[in-house]
Amino acid sequence: MADIFLSYAREDRAKAEQIAKALGNAGYDVFWDIEIPPGASWADFLAEKLSQSKAALVLWSSTSTASQWVREEARLARDRGKLIPVMIENCAPPFGFGEIQAANLAGWNGEADNPHWKLLLEGIQRAVGAAPTGTASAPPLRAPPAPSGWTQPAPHTAAGPAVAPSPAKRNWVLIGGVALAAVLGLVTILNQGGDPVTPAPAPHVGGAGPLLPVTPGALSPAVAEVVQKARATQAAAKVVAQEADRNAKAGQQAAAAAMRGEGGFTTSQGPMGAVAGDLVRLQQGQAAPVGIAMTNGSQFAGLMQVSEANGGAMTLNGTTTVPGGGWVTGRYTLSGARSTFVGAGLIPNKLSVEAQEEGAADGSATEGIGVVRYANGERYEGQYRAVGQGAQSTYLRNGLGVYYGANEQVINAGRFANDAYVGPQ
């Protein structure tokens, strides 16, 4: 059992290694250089290691705050009462994590006598139950971290947006069009405003690797056509998701500024949740960066535009999360009782999807086309149907498509009905 679980974005590996070495020199056992055993799933392995640790240090930076997986590890640590946040840059932590006082190591470069480092060690000692037994220092990095213009907000306990940024570390995955329903009804609670802001760009989001081509002649013309449409939709979904990723970062920053009372941004609280960001521009019918936190735990960060009163028609372009760890990144368009979604997202330990979906605004039943990747390495390309809400969504192969095994061999191809293979088409 490790004393400390260290969560960080891969771009911050050098700083994570420096902290891990310093803690190791102090006599603590740190789990940080992660190697997943063959046959184990990434999520299950990390959840087990986090549960076994006595404390979890989450390194917040401009990169890690945009990582869905770092946020998920932080959420698990917070839920287990093990979270110790550490700011390695002068940036705003994600919403939902600002209520816990963070150690500030933005200016620390391995010194044992740094006052902020000493405060962190005191917090670790309280959590782990053992005092350092060695000199808690590490070799300095070649260049000390350069401070940015963002400062850590003061801790707060009021219910406010806990906005999730879009993913930047690992594979994308979708939750069906149901996440859109989580933010409906919030439009009517907007009653405050602020000055316009130019959205800031977010880090580029990576996607899944290239798909193997279908062997010529192996599929019927009808199935081959649907597969090609699914792959074209997958490519379009990745482009839209990259755009939504940038918007999610802008929404997160606008919401952070609103919660601190900066830049003229404002917040609005209603019975269904809270909205923070550029509410004046939103009320004027323009696309505005906002963060939304529903009382049921669903969250949104990105650009929102309302084109009809009371949300009769709107567009959301960013990232939405739902309880249970699921999230989607892309563009949602709502008109009346119908919605369209293009992008990608996550159902933990289940599947990943890059696709387009159309269906009821409440997500009760949506038809989709795209590429679905399962946790066991299998893959489906073609038409499908999504039923249910959030991480409890069910994805049914429904229509024409191809089902691949983990070895990229075709298991069956043709027509499917509610996951059952009907036969060649």
User: What is the per-residue pLDDT for 65?
Assistant: 83
CA–CA gap between residue 264 and residue 193 (Å, rounded): 8
Provide the domain limits for residue 17. 4-128
Same structural domain, 123 and 181: no
Would you say residue 157 lies in a domain? no
Question: Which of 128, 162, 192 is the C-terminal boundary of a domain?
Answer: 128
- How far, in Å, CA of 151 to CA of 153, rounded? 6
Instruction: Specify whether 198 is located in the same domain as 118.
Output: no
Do the domain assignments include residue 167?
no
CA distances to 174, 209, 210, 375, 395 from 215, in Å: 27, 18, 15, 24, 26
Task: Determine the Cα–Cα distance for residues 299 and 145; give it in Å rounded to an integer.
Answer: 31
Q: Is residue 137 part of a domain?
A: no
From CA 207, how far away is CA 62, in angstroms rounded?
20
pLDDT score at 283? 87
Q: Give pLDDT, residue 210.
A: 35
Pairing verdict, β 83-87 and 55-60: parallel
Same domain for 118 and 192, yes or no, is no
Q: Is the pTM of this model over 0.75?
A: no
State residue 132's pLDDT score. Answer: 75
Instruction: Note whether residue 288 is domain-resident.
Output: yes
Residues 118 and 227 in one domain: no
Each residue's pLDDT, cut to its tens digit, for the chain (425 residues) gives 678 999 998 888 999 999 999 999 988 999 886 666 666 556 677 778 888 899 999 999 988 887 777 888 888 888 888 999 999 988 777 766 766 778 889 889 888 888 889 889 988 988 888 777 777 777 787 543 333 322 222 222 223 333 333 333 333 344 554 444 545 455 444 543 333 333 333 322 333 333 344 443 568 889 999 999 999 998 899 889 889 988 988 998 899 888 888 878 998 887 778 899 999 998 888 999 999 988 878 889 999 998 876 657 889 999 988 877 788 899 999 888 888 999 988 887 788 889 999 988 777 788 999 999 888 889 999 999 988 776 778 889 999 999 999 888 889 999 999 989 998 86
pLDDT at 311 (0 to 100): 58
Residues 6 or more apart whose CB falls under 8 angstroms from that of 406 comprise: 376, 377, 378
**287 and 216 within one domain:** yes
Lateral strand order in the sheet of 30-31: 30-31, 4-7, 55-60, 83-87, 103-104
Q: What span, in angstroms and rounded, lies between the C-alpha atoms of 50 and 45?
A: 9
Q: Are residues 223 and 97 in the same domain?
A: no
Q: Which pLDDT belongs to residue 290?
A: 93
Distances (CA, A) of 166 to 46, 94, 160, 250, 316: 20, 11, 19, 11, 13
Residue 203's alpha-carbon distances to 148, 220, 299, in angstroms, are 15, 41, 20
Q: What share of the chain is helix, strand, coil (3-state, %, to 5)?
A: 30, 30, 45
One-letter identity of residue 56? A
Tokens for 18?
Answer: 């420096």
Model pLDDT, residue 162: 37
- Indicate if 37 and 107 belong to the same structural domain: yes
Q: What is the CATH number of the domain that holds 21?
A: 3.40.50.10140
Residue among 377, 390, 384, 385 nearest 402 (CA):
384
Q: Where are the alpha helices (DSSP H) in 337-415?
A: none
Query: Of 128, 163, 190, which residue sits at a domain end?
Result: 128
* Total count of domains within the chain: 2
